[in-house]
Amino acid sequence: MQRFLTYTASLALVSTALLAPHRARAQAVSVDAKAGDYSLTLKVLPAEAFTGAHAEMARDGGAKANMVDGPGHPNHHMVVFIKKGDKPVEKAMVSITYRKVGQKSMDWSILPVTRMHVKGKGLATTHFGNNVSLTPGSYEARVIVNGSQPALFHFKIADQAPMARHPRSPESRVR
Ligand SMILES: [Cu+2]
C-alpha cells in the first residue's frame, strides 16, 4: 500500500509537469445561474491536482477526488462556486448532473461532488465538484444546492482537451 501511494504521488507529479505547458491553451468555461436563493458560478477548467507538490486543490469533504492519473483519466475540473448574498457558501449539500447535448444517448451522469478550496487560499475559495473526463461537444449541467430548484447551465467543450496531447493517451493506456 505504501509503495502504491508513493507511485501514485510521483505519477501525479510527472503528469502535472507534462501538462503545465498546455494549460494556457486549455479553455475555461464560466457560467452564472441561480438556484433558489443561491448564486452559482459553474466553471469547467483543466483537470486539477489534489496531491503532490503541485497540488492546486485542497479537498476538505464530500466524495473522493478523481485523481488526474486515476481511472477515466479526467481532463477537466467541473466545479460550482456558491454564494448567498455576497457570502461564499462553505457548507452545502450539492448535487451536480451533466449530459452531452445532441447525442443519441442523453442520459444524465452524476458527478461525485467533492468539497475543496484553492490550496493556501482559505475556505472563502470553497467550491464543489470534481475532475471529470469530457469529450468535445455541447453540454448541460444541473446543480441543486440544499434541495433548491435546479440551476441549469449550458456550456461547450472545444476540440482540444489537455489530455489529447498527453504522451500517454487514454487509448494507449487502456489497450
Ligand atoms: Cu477545485
| From the candidate CATH numbers 3.40.50, 3.90.25, 2.60.40, 1.10.620, the one assigned to the domain spanning 2-164 | 2.60.40
| Residue 41 clears pLDDT 80, i.e. is over it | yes
Q: Name the one residue in this structure whose C-alpha cell is 482540444.
A: 160
Q: Distance, CA 85 to ligand 1 centroid (Å)?
A: 22
| Residue 174 clears pLDDT 60, i.e. is over it | no
Question: Is the separation of the CB atoms in 120 and 68 below 8 Å?
Answer: no
**Model confidence over 126-164: pLDDT tens digits?**
999 999 999 999 999 999 999 999 999 999 998 655 444
Question: What pLDDT is attached to residue 20?
Answer: 44
Query: With pLDDT > 90 as the criterion, what percentage of the chain qualifies?
Result: 66
Query: With pLDDT > 70 as the criterion, what percentage of the chain qualifies?
Result: 74
Is this prediction's pTM over 0.85? no
CA distances from 30 to 4, 9, 71, 153, 157 (A): 36, 30, 26, 10, 12
Question: What pLDDT is attached to residue 72?
Answer: 86
- 3-class secondary structure per residue, 47-60: CCCCCCCCCCEEEE
Q: Distance, CA 116 to ligand 1 centroid (Å)?
A: 6
Whole-number mean pLDDT of the chain? 82
Question: What pLDDT is attached to residue 7?
Answer: 45
Question: What pLDDT is attached to residue 106?
Answer: 75
Q: Distance, CA 143 to ligand 1 centroid (Å)?
A: 16
Which one has a higher pLDDT value, 160 or 8? 160
Q: Distance, CA 91 to ligand 1 centroid (Å)?
A: 15
pLDDT band at 12 (very low <50, low <70, confident <90, very high): very low
| Mean pLDDT, residues 8-28 taken together | 48
| Residue 166 clears pLDDT 80, i.e. is over it | no
Task: Collect all residues with Cβ–Cβ distance below 8 Å to 169 and sequence separation of at least 6.
Answer: 163
Q: Distance, CA 171 to ligand 1 centroid (Å)?
A: 26
Q: Distance, CA 43 to ligand 1 centroid (Å)?
A: 9
**Model confidence over 58-81: pLDDT tens digits?**
999 999 999 998 988 999 999 999
Question: What pLDDT is attached to residue 158?
Answer: 87
Say how many C-beta atoms besides its own lie within 10 A of residue 74's C-beta: 23
